[in-house]
Structure 1
């Protein structure tokens, strides 16, 4: 009984913090404690309950005016990247689970000039790699941790090139170059047929390698992405 009461009170405290101190030090302190708890508890149900509290904080934060002029500093397990013109911010994290392997969580925050358009995505770990010759949507997002992006184009042709990391398969690490755009209906689309290798055109680039190896993938300039050469 005491444990249930503590959980209810804790969630209420988190919700109140979201409303009144979205970008304050108290919110960062609570997030640090929550992510630390995720690494310590052993039961999946406990991890999912803790993650619900994290989602409540990030959801309110993403919809606030603070999202594009504030970054949580030093949060080891929370990825945060923002485009140079502050039109798109991406927040990602993952949690390990016993039965399914784990889950990815992602918030895409689009600055429309009026209010933030927020997309919340989640995906179970998948041992299979995302396909390079098809597009994905919010509903069937493959799941990844994004760590860099660049913005290109204007208006209806605006899109963002993302660099991502997939750790779902314990034996294989994947790094992904993908493109996202927002349709006129306001839906996120993953993939664009701009990657050419000889006569083959792909929607994304996928690098797969042993989890024991180290492979870099980064923007060298806005127009050049470099990565280590992989030998099959």
Structure 2
């Protein structure tokens, strides 16, 4: 039943950096064989009967993936047969990030992942991601790959500011039987190592200015849908304004969209909060992306997006 409530994930694979070479014939054969094994194991992680079967598949999946990625120039191999694993690339293809989820019989989730760097010599540089979200009491914090706020990433937006690259990650957490979450956070690299979060979400321009945040999270009703993504046409992050349908704001599992939209605009190295994106007079061709209810029975792990996210980019739903 829980899987029917999960949203589907679109795996992106943009053009790779010019300096990366392809694996040779032997390497390609090795990767194809590994992909077949990984495909079987990823299916078991998602569909295995009981926690023990899914955990066993996960324990086998991780070393199999690492061995495959040790193949020289494996970065150029897309692993596009892994339908329950998200593989996201930034615009510059300097890295790719693998994420996947393990559903427990209780309806709670644990996430797994890794960042593979695009190295010039084709050798593996990998940062495993360790999900500690169940133990993070303060979500507004900066973390490393060893203390990762686990989720399934479904989009990456890249920005350049003062000789540094900033990668905004958009993630989804199926969370628990009552609610789900969407997350946006900044990924940067310090001394070559990944850093998740940072003081990049500013509320300085609000009518009542609020403190800057290191990470932005929305939590809402399990059966509901909510937008949180980068809108290329508006050149900003757009998300649903949420309210409690039972007037119990302390209970996040009662939150649903009220059909209004907030967002963040990139200014001087920060995402600055915009309290209201669409007003009564909507400019021609800039219609609000009105969400369409999705058939819950057709949802799957492969697209954590609401209806407007599935529209062609640059063409918000009218």
Q: What TM bracket, shorter-length normalisation? A: 0.7 to 0.9
- Equivalent residue for 2:286? none
Contact 2:133 2:148 in 1 (8 A): no
Q: 1:36 to 1:171 in 2, by over 3 A?
A: same
Q: Does 1:118 align with 2:130?
A: no
Considering only aligned residues, what root-mean-square deviation do their CA atoms show, in Å? 2.9
- Equivalent residue for 1:13? none
- Equivalent residue for 2:220? 209
- Equivalent residue for 1:71? 78
Deviation sequence 1:17-62 (CA, Å, 0-9, x none): xx773432x3333222222233443343332221122112221333
Distance across 1 between alignment mates of 2:164 and 2:65 = 29
Q: How does 1:50-129 map to 2 (within 5 A)?
A: 50-98=57-105, 101-114=108-121, 115-123=123-131, 126=134
SS at match of 1:230: strand
SS at match of 2:241: coil
TM-score by length of 2: 0.59
TM-score by length of 1: 0.78
Runs (4 or more) in structure 1 with deviation over 4 Å come to 127-130
**What is the total number of aligned residue pairs between the two structures?**
212
Following superposition, the deviation at residue 202 of structure 1 comes to 0.8
Distance across 2 between alignment mates of 1:191 and 1:122 = 15
Deviation sequence 1:112-150 (CA, Å, 0-9, x none): 434442101132663978623x21112221211111102
Which residue of the other structure, out of 164, 180, 191, is the alignment partner of 2:197?
A: 191
Deviation sequence 1:92-118 (CA, Å, 0-9, x none): 101123479442111111224344421
Q: 1:68 to 1:127 in 2, by over 3 A?
A: same
Deviation sequence 1:180-208 (CA, Å, 0-9, x none): 11111x33211121211233211121111
In structure 2, list runs of 5 or more residues that go unmatched.
1-26, 245-318
Distance across 2 between alignment mates of 1:221 and 1:120 = 30
Q: Does 1:30 align with 2:37?
A: yes
Distance across 2 between alignment mates of 1:155 and 1:110 = 22
Which residue of the other structure, out of 36, 49, 52, is the alignment partner of 2:56?
A: 49
Which residue of the other structure, out of 241, 257, 260, is the alignment partner of 1:229?
A: 241
Q: Does 1:220 align with 2:238?
A: no
Contact 1:182 1:189 in 2 (8 A): yes
Q: 1:161 to 1:39 in 2, by over 3 A?
A: closer
Q: Greater relative contact order: 1 or 2 (C-alpha under 8 angstroms, separation 6 or more)?
A: 2
Distance across 2 between alignment mates of 1:138 and 1:100 = 25
Distance across 2 between alignment mates of 1:150 and 1:77 = 22
Distance across 2 between alignment mates of 1:155 and 1:48 = 44
SS at match of 1:212: coil
